[in-house]
């Protein structure tokens, strides 16, 4: 099946530092990838759509200067949390759509746990 990986799986950083999270599609190409944020016991909140070769599309209320997204290749998207603060602590998950048997659906990475001290 389709595999999406994320790195790192968890990260602890000091307040004010920047953290980069990578999302890779391992066995397929993805012109589009999605970044979600998930708080404990809550649903997935779409933050932005990452587009290969062009600017990301951010959901309403998400600060584009805070959450920098780069989709440099057909298999890699990165999310950089700039000047991280404790309120940015969360579970970040990426996904990529893939057509299987003529039906496209989303496949998710394992997630990255971010803790900002």
Whose Cβ is closer to other proteins: residue 17's or residue 105's?
105
Calculate ∠ Cα 29-8-32, nearest 5°: 25
Q: Is 35 in the site for other proteins (CB under 8 A)?
A: no
Whose Cβ is closer to other proteins: residue 1's or residue 86's?
1
Contact mark string toward other proteins, 50..89, x via CB under 8 A: ----------------------------------------
Whose Cβ is closer to other proteins: residue 49's or residue 82's?
49
Calculate ∠ Cα 28-34-37, nearest 5°: 135
Cite the beta strand spans of 1-117 per DSSP E. Answer: 4-7, 10-13, 19-25, 32-38, 44-51, 57-58, 67-73, 76-81, 90-100, 103-108, 112-116
Residues near other proteins (CB under 8 A) are 4, 6, 32, 34, 41-44, 46, 49, 91, 93, 95, 97, 103-111, 113
């Amino acid at each position: 099946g389709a595999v999406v990986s994320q790195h790192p799986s968890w990260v602890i950083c000091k307040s004010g530092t920047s953290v980069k999270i990578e999302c890779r599609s391992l066995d397929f190409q993805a012109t589009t990838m999605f970044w979600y944020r998930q708080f404990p016991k809550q649903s997935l909140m779409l933050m932005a759509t990452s587009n290969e070769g062009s600017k990301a599309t951010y959901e309403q209320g998400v600060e584009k200067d805070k959450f920098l997204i780069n989709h440099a290749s057909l298999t890699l998207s990165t999310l950089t949390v700039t000047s991280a603060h404790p309120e940015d602590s969360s579970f970040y998950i990426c996904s990529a759509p893939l057509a299987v048997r003529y039906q496209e659906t989303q496949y998710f990475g394992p997630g990255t746990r971010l803790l900002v001290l």
